[in-house]
Amino acid sequence: MADPHSGNILALCDVIRTTSFDIHKYLRSGFTERIYENALVHRLRQKGVVVEQQQQMKVFDEDGTQLGLLTADLFVNRQLICEIKSCNTLVDAHTAQLLGYLRAARLEHGLLINFGAPKLQIRKYILTQMT
């Protein structure tokens, strides 16, 4: 298994992906987002991954003025946001939410994970900063 402590974002995503598949295989669909979120946090921490749950992050305007706070479902190894869903299918609004969180937190990597569908849906997004 990939080492989630290596600092390699791809290895970290692989660990989250396989852990999510294991959770979906066990629980299947039908639970609330919180159940899946708690399961993912529990299992990732068992693997030694640093996970902050319901992490509040500051949102800033272009000039540095703080506009408020957002709450990310999971902040993993201080480098990746995971948004957890439990719905029939992922929609554009879910993607927009995650991309907005990445921009606001000034992070590049995010995972959108939907446990609610009959087949697990997981999408990785990379936000590149245009200069």
Question: What total number of domains does the chain contain?
Answer: 1
In a 10 Å sphere around its CB, with 0-12 CB exposed, 13-18 middle and 19+ buried, how is residue 22 labelled?
middle
pLDDT at 6: 52
Express each pLDDT in 72-86 by its tens digit.
999 999 999 999 999
Does residue 1 fall inside a structural domain? no
Query: Is 51 inside any structural domain?
Result: yes
Q: Per-residue DSSP letters for 80-103?
A: EEEEEE-SSS--HHHHHHHHHHHH
Query: What is the 8-class DSSP label of residue 128?
Result: P
Task: Tell me the pLDDT of the chain averaged across its residues.
Answer: 93
3-state secondary structure of 30: coil
pTM exceeding 0.85:
yes
CA distance 97 to 130: 19
Range of the domain at 113: 9-126
pLDDT at 131: 46
- Give Dmax (Cα) for the chain: 47
CATH number at residue 21: 3.40.1350
pLDDT at 95: 98
Query: Which residue numbers in the chain have pLDDT < 50?
Result: 131
Is residue 131, in this structure, part of any structural domain at all? no
